[in-house]
Each structure stands twice: as structure tokens, then as C-alpha cells.
Chain A
Amino acid sequence: MIRRSLTLFAGLFVLILVIGWVLGMPFTSSRLVEAAAYALIAMGLNIQWGYGGLFNFGIMGFLMVGGAAVTFISYPANPEFWHSDGPMMLGRALLAFAVGAAIVIAVRRADRIGITGRWKGVLTVLAWFVAYVLYRSQIDPAAAYIESTSGWVGGLGGHPVLGWLFGGVLAAGIAYVIGKICLGLRTDYLAIATIGISEIVRALIKNMDWLTRGTLTVSPIPWPTPLPQDLQAGGMGMDQALLLSRGGFLLLAIVVLAIVMWLINRAYGGPWGRMMRAIRDNHVAAASMGKNVTARQLEIFVFGSVLMGIGGAMLVSFVQIFDPSSYQPINHTFLIWVMIIVGGAGNNWGALFGAVLIWLIWVISEPLARAIFETVSLWSTQIGWGAIPDIDVRSAQMRVFVLGLVITIALRFAPKGLIPEVVRREG
């Protein structure tokens, strides 16, 4: 097993070197930083699916939440907003939200005063409606006011690493709510419900222009490490500055990744990890041993989502732009799933390997496809069939096909992944 893993990682290293040699260091270095962030996200899914057997298909939502969080924390403050009536109006909207939530919660307890059955149902629907109208009546003018006067709320000007942490916290909060709602569902229902919720999150973030600037996008988002421009201003050459600054970011990302991996590897080996695997493999048996299955699953769902939030925040800080419309289920949910399936669910080294490998396949399939198309096009022109039209557009779409091909092949021939989970049996 160890030998196989080492061979695979050595192969991956050679692949990185080849990519670096063919496509140049600037391209490769930024892909590596992204791969590190995706590895972190894949770890999050590995906790949820590999350890806990939870079918989370709403990864995109958590990545967006992380991205929005780091934007909010680290983007410079917008004084125009803070000096206007905006904060006051938002405060009122928050109050309306709280009142609405209180009404809904109060109605949930209506059986205590003897209202049950059908009447409680009617009352619940009514309470939700009242809460919704109350909230909308406050937030709509506030949103319109902020959008027309100061554009959006702006950031807080904090350190990006704080933003990453906040991304984790915010993702945890949302995961708690989603988990509370959905975790009672069985696997495929859970998948569909989480996809649905992630689409709701996307629609909200995309359309709440006052909070996230929506489709107008926010940039530039600061880096936690010195930017290439800063290093260049310090009198460094362009190539050197680029490599050094990206190296710095990569180092930070790898440190975060290493800490996370150390922690979750320990958790996997410990009693907590054993309990999780017991729940995953047979939740009825685990429940009969006195484990609180629902609470433990909620716990693992939240932990995994924290990593997704942090990873999503890292990606946004690295590319320096938060563009809600660039988030797609294919690029941000299914891609992560392919990483885990190919790498090996339940094994963190497998998740790391899968994340880096699939990310590299994803990014090189476009130039590779272009090269193939250009060769074929040249050949077909020579024999008089004419060139292939729109090579750029077509080769960009090839990566979706390659991703689908990889996952179907993996499911067919290596269903447990390339570096599968090692099940230790004592005694």
C-alpha cells in the first residue's frame, strides 16, 4: 500500500515537473496554489463522505460563502456606506429578521397552549408568511437605498487570514442550519436537497448586490502575503517577484493544509474517527451502541463544511476577484466529487492525491485539447476538408468531457479510488 502511494505521488511530482516545463512556471505556480486550496476543500468532503458517509452535493454553496466572507473581511472599508443611513436601515432589517424568527419559533411551540394538528399547520404557514413579509418590508428599502447611495457595504479592511477563518465560521453556521434541516434524509434525497440549497445560496449571493456587489464583482481582494507588485516595487525583477510572491502564498496554503491534515488524520485514528466509521458503515448498530447518530452526523457535516469555507476563501483571495456568476455546479461541486472518488474516499492522502491530480487534469485538458485540435485541423486542411472552426471555444469545453470520462472510468475500474482507505483490524 505504502509503495503504491509513493509511486503515485512520485508520478504526480513528475507530472507537475512536466507541466512546469511545457507550460511555464507562472502558469504552474498559480495552478499549484489553487490545487492546495482544492485539496483543503477535498479534505472537507473527505471528512463528510469518507469518514461520515454523508452525501453533500452543495459544496458550491460553501465555497461561495467562504468567498463572500473573505471579501467582506479583507476588502478595504467603504466609508461612504458607514456615514450614510445604511447601517441604521440594515439594523432595522436585522431586527425585523429577529422578530420574524421569534414568531416562527413561537408558533412551533404552539402545541403548549393546546393548538395542535391542522390548526398548528395553518398557523405555521401563516407565521412564515408574516415573518417573510416583515423581513422583506425592511430589507427591500435598505437594499435599494444602499445600492443607490454607496453601492454596497464594502469590507472591513481586516487581514485575509482572518477572512479565511471567518469563511470557516460562516460556512459552519450555514452547515449547521442545513444539517439540522436535511440530515434526516437518506442519501439521494440528501444529495438533491443539498444541491437545491446550494443553488438558493448562489441565487442569494448573486442577487444581494448591497452585500456582495453581485454580478458587478469585487476586486482586487488583498493577499495575505506580499503581492508580486509589492515585491517589484521593492526592486525585484518581474519573473522573480512573481515566483517569490506565489511561492509565499503557496507556502502559507501548504502550512494550513498540513495543519488540517495532521489534525484530521489524528481524528481519524482516534476514538472519534472509529465512532464515525461505525456510524457510516452501520448506523443502526452504532445507534444501538448508544451513539447519537444524528448529532454526530451534524458534527461531521459542520467540520467538513468549515474546511470547504476556508478553501473557498483561499481560492477567492488568491484570484483576487469575487465573481458570484463564475460559480458553477460542475466546477465547484462535481469537480470535488471526482477528486474524492478518484483519489480514494476515507483516505486523506488519497484525497490530497486526487485533488492535485484532478485539478491538474482539469487545467491541462484545455491546452491539450487545443493542441490536438490544431494538429487535426492542420491535417484536415492539408487533405482538403477545411479547418476545425472555433478551436478556442471547443477546446475550453473539452475539460467537462474529460472530467466525465475520468469519473466513469474510475467508478468502473477503481471504485475505491487510487489510494483506497486502509481498514485496520486489530486482533
Chain B
Amino acid sequence: MTEIIFFINQVVISGLVLGCIYALGAIGITLIFGILRFAHFAHSELMTGGAFIAFLLAAAFASWGIVTPIPTGFVVLPLAMVLTAILSLGIDKGFYAPLRKRGAKPVTLLIASIGVTLMVQGLIRLFFGTGTYSFFDTEPKEIFRIDTAFLGSTRPLVITEPQVLMILVTLVSVVALHFFLTRSRLGKAMRAMADNADLAQVSGINTALVVRVTWVIAGALACMAGTMLALDVTLKPDLAFNIILPIFAAAIVGGLGQAYGAIAGGLLIGFAETLAVFNWTMLFRPLNAILPDWLQLPPTLALVPTEYKLTVAFVILVVTLLVRPTGIFKGASS
């Protein structure tokens, strides 16, 4: 039983947390791709920027002496999401809208988004240096250790408070997004525009409004993903820049333009990464008692060494692009 608890701690919880973060990032990327038809690289900077906004707000709260029952990072999250949404609208207005107006190709927009990535990252590093920050300097990070002795395990089930909240918040926002996309007028307009922009425009949909709403949702979700990543590990200027490719992998695996695909893709990539580096001997160790001597399990039995963890996402990405370029849920066709 100890082994199964260990498996849950190492794979199920961390895979779920990673998958939630990937999914939230990938939803934004996939929505932007569906509406505006370009791969938005600067999404990583929206995530990092959102996390830093949340960090500043949390620091402000702490300096005002406001004590909250749940981590401050979660309390300030709605406000930070609003600010990040405004930021992303501003970036669109300043950098992408003029290019779109000129009728630039998606490739040009992609390069522009890399330019935005570099600028925002430069600014973040200018103000915050290259060090790491933690949301938990002023308050303790609560860790739940659920005793599982009644199941015959010597190891407790370990989960931190931010992780629990993170999974709940992701669940709530995904359900909210689902209802927005399927029930509200604006959500239906978004789906219509993702399906066929010209047709949507001639049938009287306000495309400019849809574009704005897309940026608002993408920015807010990016802020959420970035803040939660920073709450789970630490906050640093290249926080999201390093995981933007796995997020793209999640969006592509799910099918670009498909919001539900992005969620599935995010969880898939998250679990694939944790499963690939998991040492299976830890789970199957009890079998050593039954197995004959020549078939004893080696001390490490992982699919790939730990240092190749991020590579797993790229391999999945490349394989998906080759075998099924439209993703598991049929994505936007070229």
C-alpha cells in the first residue's frame, strides 16, 4: 500500500497540478489561434507578467497587514486577472492590431509575438532582476499530510494547500468557460468566429468585440496559470518562458482552436511528463519477492532519465504533428 500512496504523491498529484497549469495556458493559446489564427508566443510573458502582478498585490496586502485564511496569492488572483486582461488588451492594441489592419500574414504576427515576448521579459527582468521570489515569505505554506495508516501504508498522502486550491480553481474556471462558450451569446459568437471568421462577420457578429473578449479570457487564464505555477514552485522571470513549448504541445495535441482539446492535451502532457520520469521500481518493488532472482527489478526503472523531463513534451508534440497534425480533437484546419 505504501507504494501506491507513493505513486499517488509522485505521479497523480504532481501530474494533475502540472496538467492544470498546462491546460489553463493552452486554453488561451488555442482560443487566440482559433480567433486570430496565429501562434501567440508571448503567452508565456502574459503568464509571468500575471504572476508578478499577483505577487506585487500580495506583497501590498501583506504590507497593509491583511491576513487571509487562504494563501494571499489566491485572494488577489481575481484582481490580478483583471489587470492582466487589461495588459493583454493593451498589447494587442499596441502591437498586433496595427499588423492585422495592414493585413499581415499569420507568420508576421508570430514574429511580432516573439518581439513582445522579448520586450516583456526584458522589462520584467529590468524591474525584478533574475532572482527568485516566493509568495510564502510572509505566510506559511500549509502542507496536508493525510495519514493513510488505516490502509496499511507507512507513508502519508502529501498535498499542499495551494495544490488543493489550484485544482479546485482550475475545475471551476473550466466549467465556467464551458458554460460561457455553450450558453452565452458572446461565447457562441466566439465559436462561430473560430469556425469561419468571414461568415461570422457577415451574419452580424461584432468581430472586434469577439477579439477583445478573446484577449480578456486568454489574459485572465494566463494570469491564473502563472500565479498558480508561482505558488506551487517559485516565481522567477523565466517562469513561463521555459514551459511555453509544453503548453504549445498541449494546445496542438488537443487540436489548435479546440478549448476542450487544450484541457485534455494539458492533462495528457502533464501526466506524460511525470509518468515518463517516474521510477517504476518504486511501485513494483513488492513484486521482487515473487519474481525469480534473474528477473529482479533494477534500482531505477524510469522510461527516461529525469533530466529529459521537458523533452517528453516535445517528443509527444513532434509525434502528434506527424501522425495526426490536427490533434486528438480535430483542430482548426490549415
A407's partner among B115, B252, B307 (CB-CB below 8 A) is: B115
- Interface status of B286 (Cβ within 8 A of chain A): no
Extra 19 A-B pairs, beta carbons < 8 Å, given A398-B126, A403-B122, A404-B116: A55-B107, A189-B321, A196-B313, A199-B311, A199-B314, A203-B307, A207-B308, A330-B118, A338-B115, A393-B129, A398-B122, A401-B121, A404-B121, A407-B118, A408-B115, A411-B99, A411-B104, A411-B108, A411-B111
Closest partner residue, chain A, to B237 (CB atom): A397
- Interface status of B110 (Cβ within 8 A of chain A): yes
The interface residues of chain A lying within 8 Å CB-to-CB of B123 are: 401
The interface residues of chain B lying within 8 Å CB-to-CB of A186 are: 334
The interface residues of chain A lying within 8 Å CB-to-CB of B317 are: 192-193, 196
The interface residues of chain A lying within 8 Å CB-to-CB of B325 are: 185, 189
Do A199 and B245 form a contact, CB below 8 Å, given A193-B317, A407-B115?
yes
CB pair A411 B118 closer than 8 Å: no
- For this complex, 28 residue pairs linking A to B, each with C-beta atoms less than 8 Å apart, are A185-B325, A187-B107, A187-B110, A188-B39, A188-B107, A196-B314, A197-B318, A199-B314, A200-B311, A200-B315, A206-B307, A207-B308, A337-B114, A338-B115, A393-B129, A394-B126, A394-B129, A397-B126, A399-B122, A400-B118, A401-B122, A401-B126, A404-B115, A407-B114, A408-B116, A411-B99, A411-B111, A411-B115
Give Cα A338–Cα B111 distance, bound, in whole angstroms: 9
Task: Mark interface residues in B38-66 (1 if CB within 8 Å of A CB, else 0).
Answer: 11000000000000000000000000000
Closest partner residue, chain B, to A195 (CB atom): B245
CB distance from A331 to the nearest CB of B (A): 11
Question: What band does the interface of chain A fall in when counting residues whose beta carbon is under 8 Å from B?
Answer: 35 or more
CB pair A334 B118 closer than 8 Å: yes
CB pair A405 B112 closer than 8 Å: no
On chain B, the number of residues with a Cβ less than 8 Å from chain A's Cβ atoms is 45
Closest partner residue, chain B, to A133 (CB atom): B303
- Interface status of B119 (Cβ within 8 A of chain A): yes
Give Cα A394–Cα B120 distance, bound, in whole angstroms: 14
- Interface status of A426 (Cβ within 8 A of chain B): no
The A interface is mostly helix, strand or loop, or mixed, namely helix
CB distance from B110 to the nearest CB of A (A): 6
- Interface status of B125 (Cβ within 8 A of chain A): yes
The interface residues of chain A lying within 8 Å CB-to-CB of B307 are: 203, 206-207
- B residues contacting A by CB (< 8 A) are 38-39, 95, 98-99, 102, 104, 106-108, 110-112, 114-123, 125-126, 129-130, 245, 248-249, 252, 305, 307-308, 310-311, 313-315, 317-318, 321-322, 325, 334
Closest partner residue, chain A, to B317 (CB atom): A196
A397's partner among B99, B125, B313 (CB-CB below 8 A) is: B125
Give Cα A187–Cα B123 distance, bound, in whole angstroms: 29
Do A400 and B318 form a contact, CB below 8 Å, given A192-B248, A390-B129, A407-B114?
no
- Interface status of A247 (Cβ within 8 A of chain B): no
B119's partner among A182, A192, A199, A404 (CB-CB below 8 A) is: A404
Task: Mark interface residues in A181-220 (1 if CB within 8 Å of B CB, else 0).
Answer: 1100111110111011101100100110000000000000
Closest partner residue, chain A, to B110 (CB atom): A188
CB distance from A213 to the nearest CB of B (A): 15
Do A412 and B98 form a contact, CB below 8 Å, given A207-B307, A403-B118?
yes
- Interface status of A341 (Cβ within 8 A of chain B): yes
The interface residues of chain B lying within 8 Å CB-to-CB of A398 are: 122, 126
CB distance from A421 to the nearest CB of B (A): 15
- Interface status of A415 (Cβ within 8 A of chain B): yes
- Interface status of A402 (Cβ within 8 A of chain B): yes
Give Cα A399–Cα B334 distance, bound, in whole angstroms: 36
The interface residues of chain A lying within 8 Å CB-to-CB of B104 are: 411, 415
Closest partner residue, chain A, to B249 (CB atom): A196
Closest partner residue, chain B, to A411 (CB atom): B112
CB pair A191 B315 closer than 8 Å: no
The interface residues of chain B lying within 8 Å CB-to-CB of A403 are: 115, 118, 122
CB pair B118 A404 closer than 8 Å: yes
The interface residues of chain A lying within 8 Å CB-to-CB of B315 are: 200
Give Cα A165–Cα B307 distance, bound, in whole angstroms: 31
Give Cα A390–Cα B311 distance, bound, in whole angstroms: 34
